[in-house]
Structure 1
């Protein structure tokens, strides 16, 4: 990965700048910043998901800065112009585990001279990092907003097993069951964990730009087949109701999965929430570095390799003020059955509301930024 300049004024909105900060948990972090002109402002930290970068917050940062916040949005470990991470599939997977990603977030705050954040805001996989930040360091991350991905709490430790040992796994796995369906399927997170997934997308036959266009389109409210509803259980028959960008056809790559849903040139030209110029920022970054950095996060999750250290927090709740925001057309809020309700009733003790925004899918802060900004500003105003 060749060293590059930060994102510049040619692609960033007025009042937002890109810069590099060295020495953050072994990284040289590319950070977008707004509201830097006035010292002493409270900080809001924004954490993006996959396949995004800090640029996904471009429509949020000016609104937060305008009411007096110092706003920081890093390219997280594995993404964009941040360097110092291992892009090798056989490299250091442990550096991408959730507690180390939370350590990255703490490092960003500290580097900018903040001992606390007024709020940490996470979207998609960034919501998982934001949740762990708030769970582990509530003294630092004093409020939390999650977008598009519910947090159901830490993994449990086996309980009451001294005289009644917990049963081991019985029967076929969920993956065997998905593969055995009449229409054989596979779960996208386990596909993302395979050695081939990076090349499948980085070297997609349609090219990175068109792959991302189709992927962003199919997970947005623009794709009219996104009509989500709660699933009853983590079973193959229930999961098979998810769109194929979540539960894929067994023998298709992700690039092949989304290709048939590539929007027409007329639709692309009319798409105001993600113009071709804006998409080119994403495709330029992923075309340069590939997808493996982000895919390492999925490998940490699906392998279960780092669950042990997360189990240290079994039973602990998030006790800072919290809010959840998502698109009403986002299947992501239902992809793990029961997670949304568990977040609302158990995992977060001060969850003030779940807000589902009309005419928005998975990319809620890009598709409907005015509605998202209104909810963020309202939430932050109650914390001051």
Structure 2
């Protein structure tokens, strides 16, 4: 994958600039920046299917408060190069400890010994959490958004007489309305093609996907689930617990907002969505989907179990949309994060008027919460 130029100034909001930084753990990393280098640094980590671009609405305000704000396209995304989207290629570069190494490398290349805070959204949230868990000397605060972090996996109980855990995927498929979990769908060979080459076109797919997971979709009314059972998790919307015989493109298509609703959307106008569509049109989704495959295969679980019982002991905060099912999708994770995994979590904020894309849907509220937490 050849090196691409950074976003040009005409694409970027006022106060944000872009550059390519080579030599970071095998990557040439595309980063967006706001504020002056040398100030206290905030590192912002995006999720799926997003980019550094997802932070565009909060970066200028954080910079105006005195920070050097840096948001990379993470491994597998956007204009960062040096990774492979080959489904049959090596998954190891996409495992969590290597994603942490990417961010350590970026901090070092920026010339910092530490950052004031690492802030992660969606799949960027566990990356930020692992950064703070493993290297609290470098990542001195952590803000998690939309995806609670329940802590590193426990060591397995090696009891030969213990009955194996029930197969929730078989149970989902056996429901009267057969279902499947979206992360296992994202791990299938055909998932990338289903979304990238969808009949409605990529721009329309992304519009419906972002809409369906936002506060604009009225069916997003999350509640606590009874447990990790097929019947319980099937209470979630179909973008999480999908119909067994549908891909994500078919799942979100019926929820495409009307032309009037699109024209009225202030948090993701068509010109902003076009940036996502252009980038994913070029790369496809497989780079980001490799992250899910690392999780669902369990291949790197033993490596993560080295940190069993370790807690995040730097100051932390959690921010999510009040209409975000992501906070409940793993039953018990929100409670475990607050009570066990993060020993210095000051607050859990659920922002009204936001769904899953909290920093895009309600940027002013997110900036206010972050600056109050940063002091």
TM over 0.5: yes
**Among 169, 172, 189, the residue aligned to 1:178:** 172
Residue 101 in structure 1 maps to residue 99 in structure 2: yes
Q: Which digits, 9 at most, give the CA deviation of each residue in 1:23-75, with x for residues without a partner?
A: 00000000001113xx4211100000000000000011111111111111000
CA distance in 1 between partners of 2:319 and 2:299 (Å): 30
Mapped pair 1:84 → 2:82: yes
Give runs of aligned pairs for residues 24-35 of structure 1, distance below 5 A.
24-35=24-35
Task: Identify the residue that residue 164 of structure 2 maps to in structure 1.
Answer: 169
1:141-220 aligned at under 5 Å gives the runs: 141-158=139-156, 165=160, 167-170=162-165, 172-220=166-214
Check whether the contact 2:3–2:28 (CA below 8 A) recurs between aligned residues.
Answer: no
Structure 2 stretches of 5 or more lacking a match?
none
Q: Is the 8 A contact 1:11 1:278 kept in 2?
A: no
Equivalent residue number for residue 20 of structure 2: 20
Is the 2:2–2:81 Cα contact (8 Å) retained in structure 1? Answer: no
C-alpha RMSD of matched pairs (Å): 1.0
* Deviation (angstroms), 1:168: 4.5
> In structure 1, what is the Cα distance between the partners aligned to 2:207 and 2:262?
8
1:166 is displaced (CA, Å) by: 6.2
How many pairs does the alignment contain?
375
Shift of 1:4: 2.6
Deviation at 1:158, TM superposition (A): 3.0
Corresponding residue SS for 1:356? strand
CA deviation vs aligned residue, 1:167-206 (integer Å, no higher than 9, x gap): 2415x51000000000000000000000000000010111
Give the SS at the match of 2:272. helix
- CA distance in structure 1 between the aligned counterparts of 2:307 and 2:229, rounded to whole angstroms: 27
Say if 1:373 and 1:166 are closer, same or farther in 2 by CA, change over 3 A. Answer: farther
Counterpart Cα distance in 1 of 2:152 and 2:362: 30
Instruction: Structure 1 unaligned segments of length 5 or more: list them.
Output: none
Q: TM-score, normalised by structure 1?
A: 0.96
Partner residue of 1:359? 353
What does residue range 98-137 of structure 1 map to in structure 2 within 5 Å? 98-137=96-135
Q: 2:219 aligns with which of 216, 225, 240?
A: 225
